């Protein structure tokens, strides 16, 4: 299989590239390096610098690959903006990059006869779920522009694939964290809003304090419960998903989560076993549901996918990657 990974210089995309190459597949990456980094791209993947909003850039990568003897079998899309508060302040930027980017990509795929797409969606499409465990057929009611750009993209993908006899594999992720076993790649960004990197930035001194927002939720210890998946487990699902839609000539949509939740206090306790860091209790933030867990039975049934790594693996690998990055910079 040959994959064109758009956004393959970013956090999750770069891990997908590593897993594709480990599984013996051929990979090309297209990325505008807006948040991604050239050095995150695996040495065995060909790199095309370009923008998903620019049809000529996508066509250059697709035609460049075909000219090498084997056309692209599947496109994987990771090229989105994903900072929720930023999406509230700059919705037009988000709709442009995330939705128009998908439209241009689909149009280019149709024109070049590429019939398979793997797309990164998010738990944010569910909004504030009525129950603790999200199922794929639940109501979709995003509460911020970021989530809405992903829902709009999902809908566009379904319509376009139906009209042009194409296959899609849409994955909805929950909390993704950790770093590749090689420690060559990990979460490089400084601007983060997620629990594990916020904790580890505090551990390595890039942040003065870690805040727990709210201890009066209806959960066993009063802090919010979330579902954490190691990025390499998530990346492996993309390989399985692409192989599945190609082999079976079909489309799928699955949650990717661990199916079990950890509270913020439990994650803090687990992280403190690795290193100490300062913690302050703060007021609840608006819009944080008490419990958000993925039901990933569908991914298990269809793809045989289950996360292999534990919360401890997630925390340890993120910390080791950060320490290595600091040592490199020093
Ligand atoms: N990180 C998470 O926890 C999480 C959770 C749910 C869903 N997702 C989804 O996963 C995908 C990847 O997220 P990530 O955490 O790896 O983000 P990231 O910012 O690290 O990666 C995005 C990559 O896409 C590139 N890119 C962005 N806009 C582009 C454009 N117009 N043209 C070409 N390249 C462009 C960036 O340079 C970067 O390399 C996104 O679609 C995101 O919505 C992420």
Separation between Cα atoms, residue 3 and residue 319, nearest integer Å? 30
User: Does 183 fall in a domain?
Assistant: no
Q: Per the structure, how many domains does the chain have?
A: 2
- Do both 14 and 117 map to the same domain? yes
Q: Tell me what pLDDT residue 188 has.
A: 84
Catalytic residue among 18, 48, 146, 173: 146
Quote the pTM value.
0.97
Separation between Cα atoms, residue 242 and residue 237, nearest integer Å? 9
Domain membership of residue 28 as a residue range: 2-177+228-256
User: Does 186 fall in a domain?
Assistant: no
Give me the CATH number covering residue 220.
3.90.25.10
- Do both 67 and 121 map to the same domain? yes
Phi, psi dihedral angles at 294 (to 5 degrees) = -90, 135
Q: Which two tokens stand for residue 286?
A: 């608006």
Residues having CB closer than 6 A to ligand 1 are 7, 9-13, 31-36, 51-53, 78-80, 82, 97, 101, 120, 122, 173, 176, 194
Residue nearest to atom 32 of ligand 1 (CA): 51
Below-70 pLDDT ranges, the chain: none
- Do both 48 and 126 map to the same domain? yes
Give me the CATH number covering residue 94.
3.40.50.720
Residue 3 CB-density burial (10 A; 0-12 exposed, 13-18 middle, 19+ buried): buried
Task: Let me know the angle formed at the C-alpha of 75 by 192 and 151, rounded to the nearest 5 degrees.
Answer: 55
- Do both 252 and 299 map to the same domain? no
C-alpha of residue 16 to centroid of ligand 1, in Å: 12
- Do both 45 and 160 map to the same domain? yes
Model pLDDT for residues 29-57, shown as the tens digit of each residue = 999 999 999 999 999 999 999 999 999 99
The residue out of 256, 275, 301 marking a domain boundary is 256
The residue out of 256, 274, 307 marking a domain boundary is 256
User: Does 185 fall in a domain?
Assistant: no
Model pLDDT for residues 131-186, shown as the tens digit of each residue = 878 999 999 999 999 999 999 999 999 999 999 999 999 999 999 999 999 999 99
- Do both 204 and 282 map to the same domain? yes
User: Does 252 fall in a domain?
Assistant: yes
Q: Long-range contacts for 233-236 (Cβ within 8 Å, ≥24 apart)?
A: 233/305, 233/307, 233/308, 233/309, 234/12, 234/15, 234/171, 234/173, 234/176, 235/12, 235/15, 235/16, 235/18, 235/19, 236/19, 236/305
C-alpha of residue 110 to centroid of ligand 1, in Å: 23
- Do both 200 and 232 map to the same domain? no
Q: Is 168 a catalytic residue?
A: no
- Do both 34 and 148 map to the same domain? yes
Answer for the pair 53, 96: CB distance below 8 angstroms, yes or no: yes
- Do both 244 and 206 map to the same domain? no
- Do both 106 and 240 map to the same domain? yes
Residues 6+ apart with CB under 8 A from 303: 237, 240, 241, 244, 252, 254
Question: What are the Cα distances from residue 249, in Å, to 35, 127, 171, 175?
Answer: 33, 31, 17, 30
User: Does 90 fall in a domain?
Assistant: yes
The residue out of 237, 256, 275 marking a domain boundary is 256
User: Does 45 fall in a domain?
Assistant: yes
- Do both 200 and 151 map to the same domain? no
User: Does 162 fall in a domain?
Assistant: yes
Of ligand 1's listed atoms, the one at least distance from the Cα of 8 is 39
User: Does 184 fall in a domain?
Assistant: no
Residue nearest to atom 1 of ligand 1 (CA): 176
- Do both 153 and 241 map to the same domain? yes
């Amino acid at each position: 299989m040959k994959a064109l990974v758009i956004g393959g210089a970013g956090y999750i995309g770069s891990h997908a590239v590593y897993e594709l190459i480990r599984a013996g597949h051929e990979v090309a990456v297209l990325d505008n390096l807006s948040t991604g980094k050239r050095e995150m791209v695996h040495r065995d993947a060909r790199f095309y610098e370009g923008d998903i909003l620019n049809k000529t850039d996508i066509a250059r990568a697709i035609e460049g690959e075909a000219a090498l003897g084997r056309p692209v079998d599947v496109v994987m899309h990771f090229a989105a903006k994903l900072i929720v508060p930023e999406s509230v302040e700059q919705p037009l930027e988000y709709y442009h990059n995330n939705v128009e980017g998908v439209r241009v990509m689909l149009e280019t795929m149709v024109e070049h006869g590429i019939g398979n797409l793997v797309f990164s969606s998010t738990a944010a499409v569910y909004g504030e779920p009525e129950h603790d465990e999200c199922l794929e057929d639940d109501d979709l009611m995003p509460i911020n522009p970021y989530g809405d750009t992903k829902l709009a993209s999902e809908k566009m993908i379904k319509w376009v694939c139906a009209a042009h006899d194409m296959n899609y594999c849409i994955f909805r992720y929950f909390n993704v964290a950790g770093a590749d076993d090689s420690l060559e790649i990990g979460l490089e960004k400084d601007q983060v809003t997620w629990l594990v990197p916020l904790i580890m930035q505090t551990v390595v001194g890039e942040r003065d304090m870690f805040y727990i927002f709210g201890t009066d939720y209806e959960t066993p210890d009063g802090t919010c419960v979330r579902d954490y998946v190691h990025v390499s487990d998530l990346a492996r699902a993309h390989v399985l998903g692409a192989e599945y839609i190609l082999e079976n000539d079909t489309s799928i949509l699955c949650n990717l989560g661990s199916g079990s939740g950890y509270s913020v206090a439990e994650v803090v306790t687990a992280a403190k076993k690795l290193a100490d860091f300062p913690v302050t209790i703060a007021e609840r933030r608006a819009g944080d549901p008490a419990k958000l867990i993925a039901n990933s039975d569908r991914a298990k049934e269809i793809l045989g996918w289950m996360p292999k790594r534990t919360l401890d693996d997630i925390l340890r690998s993120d910390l080791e990657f950060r320490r290595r990055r600091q040592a490199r910079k020093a």
